[in-house]
Structure 1
Amino acid sequence: MSLRAKILKKLPLAVAVLPLALLGMFVTAVVPSGWAYAVCAAVGYVAEPGAMKRVTGRMQPLPRVGLSVAAASALRGASALVLLARAGEGESGAFVLAVVGFLAVQALRLGYAGLLLYVWWCRRLPAVTRNVDLSALRIPDAPPRWLMDLHRGPLTFVDLPLVAGAAVAAEAGARWAAGGAGAAVLAGLLALVLLAVPAWRSRHLASKGRVLSAVRAQVQEYEPEVVVYFSGNLQSAYQLNGWLPVLERTRRRVVIVLREREMLPRLDVTTRPVVCLPLGKDLAAFELPSARVALFAANAANNTHLLRMPQFRSVYIGHGDSDKPTSFNPFTKVYDEVWVAGPEGRERYARSGVGVADADIVEVGRPSLWPVATTTAAAPQPTVLYAPTWEGFHGDEGAATSLITMGPALVRSLLARQPRIRLLYRPHPLTGTLDRRAKAAHDEILALIKAANGGVGEDDAGLERLAAQLEALRQPGGDEAQAARDSAGPAADWDTVFAAWQDAYWADDTRHRVTAGSRPGLYDCFNHADVLIADVSGVVTDFLAADKPYAVTNPAGLDPDVFRGRYPAAASGHLLGPDLVGLEDFLDRAGSAPDPLAAERAQLRARLLGSAEADPLAPFERALDALLRRAAG
């Protein structure tokens, strides 16, 4: 396929047709031909970008003010006036009325755009929340989506009466032009009135100081003891989502503070108060006198906005414990304490020499591991979980992703194995964001899995129905203001629907699966897998809690002794190089009993994850209690 053909294939047909239709309207207006003009106008209306598309999704972060539609409308109106003038009606009173109507329609469109921006401004809260009572703000329902979009709203075809009147007038008399212009003006006025109603009802939300005061008062009434702070790009939401189950279980009062409002829709369900404060000045003014400890799940530039507040004892808790360089980032020395899982985390910082004092390191285990079971769900065939990491930017060739060098070949070997296995493929959420080769390998693996499933994808009507219910419970409808208002309490039916979704997802245990995100979660995949194949990452460390065989990829083909010395988590696992030598032997031995590496895994688990306790949350709670006592003193 030629480059020109590829470009044309990607362009919507309307993009090419609309300019031709507008040109045709001017040509037929000059001729003049009312009927030909009407045909060109009809084609243009149908081709209007987005005009015939079904309205989906939420209100845009910034309202689409419809500049392209306004330009097309102005051109259509101008062509209507040209048609009337060429048809000999230029001296008539009806022509003057048509001109006035044309100008009035453009003014109404401009006024509508201004009012739309006002509504958007009023409803764009300076502090967006979840699980916070905002009844004091009296937030009205969001305006209908079609009303907030000039591309597909009530003004999309407001010039239709004017254009139609001109077309008829060219054949049957000027009076039709005046009538069409009047109808267009009335339609524009009606649209303006429709939008004026939500503008009036939302006007009090324009007082941003009042909104911030109401949110702050509600959060202060909750008297939070701990702030969990998070900032980052939208793909990094998984880093905070991994901590939400822990925050649900801790007995301390926790408030979650976000900085990017677009992060809220990506947050998993929680009953803890969530406050998003996009502006640094609003964060600085958001006083929480009862809170003394701030936990940070990731290193981000915006972290400094909270770190400079002296009332908080800052703790870096990270979002995974692994042998990657990201687990001993030099930036972590800015925190008062760094919490790691086990003794290996402490030694990791000592070896790296990045400046984190040993006295500032606290071992808290991995409090999120309580859902991990040491037995596998019964299945007719062994299940292999392949969980490659992303391409990253740390420059460590040994800890690189296996996707690029060996991913598709590994999946082909697993799918071709006899006796057959069941494959769970779980790519990293950031896969393909830095390297196109990783994205290409990922897409190839998806195609391989779909082919192995007989051409059947992940689509399932029952799962889709349950997923839609979960989404409706997780994310209230309307714009962000309405969603904040309606999320004052937890989703009552969430646990029931989520359990039903999980049962339905795992019911067909003969199919290979592509798993991602929080449904199903990583630990749920652990519980349904017999063995793990993963890159150097926190996935390997956490899998030690399952006490099952695992293999670590060695995509750079480093010497095995060097590899194990550099990455301690691989010590009790099988190594897989880019040639995949030993894969069959690993799978055969993984199903044997007794497990020859079980004792080594137990020792490594204590070293990486800390001493085993009945409740993995207990060491974390003790560390939090101790820090709160020191902060209070």
Structure 2
Amino acid sequence: MYLWDRYRRVLGRVLPRLLAWLGALVVIALVFAGQPLFAGIVTVLAAVMLWWQGRGSATPTAGAALVAMVVALGMKPAVDDLRTAVAVLIAVALILVQPRVDRAIRPRVRAVLLGGTRPPLARLSTPMLVASCLSAVTIALRASGLIGEPVTIVVVVLVAAAGGLLAAAHLVRVRRRVDAKEVRAALAAYAPRYAVYYSGPDEGAYQLQLWLGLLARSGAKGVLIVREPSFLPIAAAVSELPVVYAESVEAIEFLLVPGLTTVFYVNNEARNADMVRYPALRHVHLGHGDSEKPSSYAAFTAIYDQIFVAGPAGAQRYADHGVLIPAEKFVVIGRPQLVGALHRNSGVGKPPTVLYAPTWRGSITDMQLSSLDHGAAIVNALLAAGATVIFRPHPLSYRDATSRVLIRQVDELLAAAGGAHRGSSQASALTAFECMNQSTAMIADNSSLVPDYLFTDKPFVLCLPAVTAPVARTPLSEAAIPLVLGSDPSEAVARLLGPDELAAKRAAVRAYYLGESALSENLATFDAAVSAALEAKA
């Protein structure tokens, strides 16, 4: 199982390709063994699988394998007439051109949840894929002797003609930008005042969920713009706003309708620059959590007109790291997500329940702050101390092969210990705030969970890689029990579960990180900041 946890993403990509070529070899072997019926059945199954898996993207490997199957069937001794040979050639040509053609006719702008937009032409977004699969099935039926050569050539020609005509109609729409113009017209009629912009991995929906409901408090109409086609259905599932996919900068221009004044950004992805390039709009960086990570003082953030931060720490952090941004760009809004979601003093007098919440393993050196490599040692120390453990790794951890193995190791420790411990699957079914509410203390890495946990008045351990000396000098770390990764965690665990020695220090830095409005549990500061941001630029 460890091998599956580590390599499942790779296997998920490789196995379909291996199966496709294995199917081709089986068909070839069956043809030369004189079993055309079984060879035809395998080819039909392969065509169905190609259609099912290739509806959203090109599948050149599977297509090439299907070509091999069709050619093998065309070489069957009984299939030697000219008409069938022509049908085989047409089928092969369809399969070979399908990825390129269907990619060329893909709409550059698409919308869901937006009234006034029409469905794609004929509801068939990949006509050449369908034509390729149907032609392969027809050749398989001919090789199996179930249909004659006149029917074969007629069906293949009709299928190819229909696919080609539909593809041509789609191409005309794309070249004339019909879909983009329709979306623009519907968006102009809807008249959004603001847009929320997202580019990033499919696992990043939580970044949007932090803000969509809060922005809706403004009462203004909004639209969600996404840049990755695979994220479009995910965005539609988490958003009540209309969702528009824009493939390119040119496509974005169709979305800049009159009345749109402001764009909000939930991360610092490089493709954000495609939208920030339009100076008539006000560009506001929201982020998706405040922490001492390098991402919370990235120089890239300077491109925005406004930078919403929870407390003064969010602005000062940039200057402390030599990133010079004009002070007027920063807007202190508090931490509105905490209001009504987190409880304070809920850990007093309860049995020790510790939330262990490691962050994800960054892909670059200064973001490699995860304690997952030491997770088993940390959890063993908690179990030895008699604590109940809630284990909630960062959602992005599941993208990494090594992290999946480490998560499984911790889960097995908790399962073997018995009791009321919650492993990763149970904890991931809860929100991070729900896990915080159920805990009496926390062990976490340098992430946004740590400043948020200040709100609860409960103690926490901050895991520090030995190379992150600057983090160890922040006001936040002074309010935490430090745990240098690689050292024995037992001492830190004992301090965490013992008398609360850092309550006063946590109280002293709480407003610095979360803002006064978060402590008073009101949203007036945030609402006022959004209202001002929605005003058109002078």
Instruction: State TM-score, norm by structure 1.
Output: 0.70
Q: Does 1:443 align with 2:418?
A: no
Q: Does 1:182 align with 2:89?
A: no
Contact persistence 2:372–2:407 (CA under 8 A): no
Instruction: Determine helix, strand or coil for the equivalent of 1:79.
Output: coil
Q: How far has the Cα of 1:372 moved from its partner?
A: 2.2
- Cα distance change of structure 1 residues 305 and 145 upon mapping to structure 2, 3 Å threshold: closer
Q: Does 1:80 align with 2:84?
A: no
Q: Does 1:19 align with 2:25?
A: yes
- Write the distance in 1 (CA, Å) between the matches of 2:95 and 2:50: 22
Alignment of 1:104-183 (within 5 A): 104-108=87-91, 110=93, 124-135=106-117, 137=118, 139=120, 142-143=123-124, 148=129, 153-165=133-145, 180-183=148-151
What is the CA deviation profile of residues 259-302 of structure 1, one whole-angstrom value per residue up to 9, with x for unaligned ones?
22222233351212222211111213433221222222222332
- Cα distance change of structure 1 residues 254 and 17 upon mapping to structure 2, 3 Å threshold: closer
- Cα distance change of structure 1 residues 229 and 14 upon mapping to structure 2, 3 Å threshold: closer
- Cα distance change of structure 1 residues 310 and 17 upon mapping to structure 2, 3 Å threshold: closer
Q: Does 1:294 align with 2:263?
A: yes
Please point out which of 315, 323, 326 is paired with 2:292: 323
User: Partner of 1:496 in structure 2?
Assistant: none
- Cα distance change of structure 1 residues 248 and 454 upon mapping to structure 2, 3 Å threshold: farther
Please point out which of 330, 350, 361 is paired with 2:330: 361
Farther-moved stretch of structure 1 (49-58 vs 211-220) = 49-58
Alignment of 1:15-94 (within 5 A): 15-16=21-22, 18-19=24-25, 22=28, 25-26=31-32, 36-38=33-35, 42=38, 45-46=41-42, 50=46, 59-62=55-58, 66-80=63-77
Instruction: Determine helix, strand or coil for the equivalent of 1:582.
Output: helix
- Write the distance in 2 (CA, Å) between the matches of 1:183 and 1:455: 67
Q: How far has the Cα of 1:608 moved from its partner?
A: 0.3
Q: How far has the Cα of 1:226 moved from its partner?
A: 2.2
What is the CA deviation profile of residues 363-397 of structure 1, one whole-angstrom value per residue up to 9, with x for unaligned ones?
11122222223365999964322221223256448
Q: Which amino acid aligns with 1:317?
A: L
- Cα distance change of structure 1 residues 394 and 246 upon mapping to structure 2, 3 Å threshold: farther
- Cα distance change of structure 1 residues 580 and 546 upon mapping to structure 2, 3 Å threshold: same
Q: Which amino acid aligns with 1:107?
A: I
Please point out which of 197, 207, 218 is paired with 2:186: 218
Unaligned runs of 5+ in 1: 1-5, 27-35, 85-94, 166-175, 434-438, 457-508
- Cα distance change of structure 1 residues 146 and 368 upon mapping to structure 2, 3 Å threshold: same
Q: How far has the Cα of 1:342 moved from its partner?
A: 0.6
User: Partner of 2:310 in structure 1?
Assistant: 341
- Of structures 1 and 2, the larger Rg is shown by 1
- Cα distance change of structure 1 residues 79 and 241 upon mapping to structure 2, 3 Å threshold: same
- Write the distance in 1 (CA, Å) between the matches of 2:403 and 2:275: 40
Contact persistence 1:257–1:276 (CA under 8 A): yes
Contact persistence 1:248–1:272 (CA under 8 A): no
User: Partner of 1:582 in structure 2?
Assistant: 491
- Cα distance change of structure 1 residues 526 and 58 upon mapping to structure 2, 3 Å threshold: farther
RMSD: 4.2
Please point out which of 239, 246, 261 is paired with 2:207: 239
User: Partner of 1:531 in structure 2?
Assistant: 441
- Cα distance change of structure 1 residues 276 and 605 upon mapping to structure 2, 3 Å threshold: same
- Write the distance in 2 (CA, Å) between the matches of 1:449 and 1:233: 25
Q: Which amino acid aligns with 2:66?
A: V
Contact persistence 1:228–1:257 (CA under 8 A): yes
User: Partner of 1:423 in structure 2?
Assistant: 390
Q: How far has the Cα of 1:216 moved from its partner?
A: 1.6
Contact persistence 1:382–1:530 (CA under 8 A): yes
Identity rate, percent: 26
Farther-moved stretch of structure 1 (354-363 vs 384-393) = 384-393
- Cα distance change of structure 1 residues 221 and 183 upon mapping to structure 2, 3 Å threshold: closer
- Cα distance change of structure 1 residues 542 and 42 upon mapping to structure 2, 3 Å threshold: same
Contact persistence 1:402–1:553 (CA under 8 A): yes
Unaligned runs of 5+ in 2: 1-6
- Cα distance change of structure 1 residues 432 and 67 upon mapping to structure 2, 3 Å threshold: closer
Q: How many residues align?
A: 521
Instruction: Determine helix, strand or coil for the equivalent of 1:106.
Output: helix
Q: Higher RCO, 1 or 2 (CA under 8 Å, sep at least 6)?
A: 1
- Write the distance in 2 (CA, Å) between the matches of 1:215 and 1:568: 49
Q: Which amino acid aligns with 1:338?
A: I
Contact persistence 2:180–2:254 (CA under 8 A): no
- Write the distance in 2 (CA, Å) between the matches of 1:628 and 1:139: 33
Q: Which amino acid aligns with 1:623?
A: A
User: Partner of 1:308 in structure 2?
Assistant: 277
- Write the distance in 2 (CA, Å) between the matches of 1:284 and 1:104: 44
Instruction: Determine helix, strand or coil for the equivalent of 2:75.
Output: helix
- Write the distance in 1 (CA, Å) between the matches of 2:51 and 2:57: 15
- Write the distance in 2 (CA, Å) between the matches of 1:76 and 1:116: 22
Contact persistence 2:24–2:68 (CA under 8 A): no
Instruction: State TM-score, norm by structure 2.
Output: 0.81
Please point out which of 443, 460, 479 is paired with 1:550: 460
Q: Does 1:262 align with 2:226?
A: no
User: Partner of 1:413 in structure 2?
Assistant: 381
- Write the distance in 1 (CA, Å) between the matches of 2:40 and 2:53: 26
- Write the distance in 1 (CA, Å) between the matches of 2:349 and 2:532: 45
Farther-moved stretch of structure 1 (374-383 vs 318-327) = 374-383
What is the CA deviation profile of residues 95-124 of structure 1, one whole-angstrom value per residue up to 9, with x for unaligned ones?
5xx2322322432564587689767765x3
- Write the distance in 1 (CA, Å) between the matches of 2:288 and 2:420: 32
- Write the distance in 1 (CA, Å) between the matches of 2:83 and 2:130: 25
What is the CA deviation profile of residues 5-40 of structure 1, one whole-angstrom value per residue up to 9, with x for unaligned ones?
x999978567457436525644xxxxxxxxx4127x
Alignment of 1:586-625 (within 5 A): 586-589=495-498, 595-613=500-518, 614-625=520-531
Q: Which amino acid aligns with 2:180?
A: L
Q: Does 1:386 align with 2:356?
A: yes
User: Partner of 2:4 in structure 1?
Assistant: none
Q: Which amino acid aligns with 1:66?
A: G
Q: How far has the Cα of 1:241 moved from its partner?
A: 3.7
Alignment of 1:370-385 (within 5 A): 370=339, 371-374=341-344, 382-385=352-355
What is the CA deviation profile of residues 227-267 of structure 1, one whole-angstrom value per residue up to 9, with x for unaligned ones?
32232344544433432232233333322222222222333
Q: Which amino acid aligns with 1:569?
A: L
User: Partner of 2:3 in structure 1?
Assistant: none
Alignment of 1:447-596 (within 5 A): 447-450=409-412, 452-453=414-415, 510-515=420-425, 519-556=429-466, 564-565=472-473, 567-577=474-484, 578=486, 579-589=488-498, 595-596=500-501
User: Partner of 2:219 in structure 1?
Assistant: 251
- Write the distance in 2 (CA, Å) between the matches of 1:288 and 1:517: 42
Q: How far has the Cα of 1:199 moved from its partner?
A: 6.8
Contact persistence 1:534–1:553 (CA under 8 A): yes
Instruction: Determine helix, strand or coil for the equivalent of 1:321.
Output: coil
Q: Which amino acid aligns with 1:419?
A: G
Contact persistence 2:375–2:406 (CA under 8 A): no
User: Partner of 1:209 in structure 2?
Assistant: 177
